[in-house]
Amino acid sequence: MNRALRILCVSALAVAFITGDTNVSFSQYGKKYKEAVQRQREVQQKDLAEVRQQVEAIRQQIKENHWKFKAEMTEALKYRIEEITGAKSPSNLNREAKIQSQAGEKLFLEFLKKLAEYNEKKQRGGGKKRPERREETKREEYQEDTKRDEYRDDSRKDEAPGDDRRADDTRTDDADRAKPDDSSHLGMVADPNAPAFNWRDAGKMTPVKHQLTCGSCWAFTACAVYEAIYLTANRVSLNLSEQQLVNCAADNRGSKAGTCDGGWYGKVFEYWTRTGAVLTTSVPYRNANGSCTAFPRTTYKVAAWGYVKQDAGIPSVAEMKRALCKYGPIASTVKVTPAFQAFAGGIFDEHISTIGPRDVNHGIVIVGWDDSKKSYLIKNSWGTQWGEKGYMWIEYGCNNIGYGSAWMVPTSEKF
């Protein structure tokens, strides 16, 4: 018996109790209850028929276009796309991404430096080293430096072409010299030159979750990325609270990260630099918006984060591979369609027409690649009954996969 019918049943019993006329009440409201049951069955049958018709249409498209995936009657097809997605990128994301990425890269270098110092002291038998300055102060300074650099770049537009080239060459050389040791963060687990690699098969992904009918994919994406990287770095599996993010998360200007009507994982990463992530045991998922109440403080914070491309655009396959190896699983987006909802295995290669790279609606996690499939492996938040136990192989360049791809690094309790 579904929730609506249970409510009808309880309402009939309540009226009977209030009137005191049990026989009349049950006769009167029992009839209405039976009628409601019949109407509900008719609606369900109609919905089922519509879904079947939709699946058959998708299968016909698969046949005509020689696509490489299977379509079935999934639970996801029962809902409107906006009910089970929710990625909404900020309108000025390209500018924000440049500032954040440059500041984040500097913080990541600081993180690697501290990690190297910790490992060196550990080998010598030393203890913890206290940070010289608070990370929040450094983050603010880096962001201010990036803004000043951006303004200087704008002022160079009127200079001679030769001067621009010299300035560009200098910045490139500095960037090359500043490249961190990619292997020092994740222990040389992944190689960007390998023909295939994914963090799921490496045993570094936490269980697939289900966002239900709340447009909170942005929160599930953020939590899935943090959980995976924390597991890789610390060998500890966390179950972070998406509900706490829906209720409370906001960026440093007070703008909410999102609600059940959609949001953005970048604001979650910013929120976590100041306020640690909370466990699901403290704030369970409710599949609905909620008010922000007191919650326990934790040490599950973000040390650094940024975008794979500085303008948050869609990275090349080579850039994505390098990011997956350098940082771990990547928060990203894709354009969901009915065919995506019906995916039941194979390689998703719909390649629907879009109105630009920002034409996306769903947050997912990119966890690896396979060149023989010409595809990324992604983790979704629609439960294990969808796709391949909650995962999908999606062809490179398909449905704007990769727009807004963001990396993050959790803080370490070691130093």
Q: How far apart are CA 196 and CA 189, in angstroms?
A: 13
For helices 3-19 and 22-65, give the axis angle rounded to 10 degrees.
170
User: What whole-number distance in Å separates Cα of residue 357 and Cα of residue 58?
Assistant: 24
The number of beta carbons lying within 10 Å of the beta carbon of residue 136 is: 12
All residues at 6 or more sequence positions from 46 whose CB lies less than 8 Å from its CB, including other chains: none
Catalytic residue among 185, 198, 210, 217: 217
What residue ranges in 19-106 does DSSP mark as E strands? 68-71
Q: Could you confirm whether 9 is annotated as catalytic?
A: no
Compute the distance between CA of residue 35 and CA of residue 215 in angstroms, rounded to an integer. Answer: 33
SS3 assignment for 128-150: CCCCCCCHHHHHHHHHHHHHHHH
Longest alpha-carbon distance in the chain: 95
CA pair distance 144, 409, nearest whole angstrom: 21
- The active-site residue, picked from 362, 398, 399, 400, is 362
Q: Does residue 380 have an active-site annotation?
A: yes
| Active-site residue (options: 247, 380, 399, 400) | 380
Task: Give the Cα separation of 331 and 87 in Å (integer).
Answer: 11
Is 210 tagged catalytic?
Answer: no
Q: Which residues are catalytic?
A: 217, 362, 380
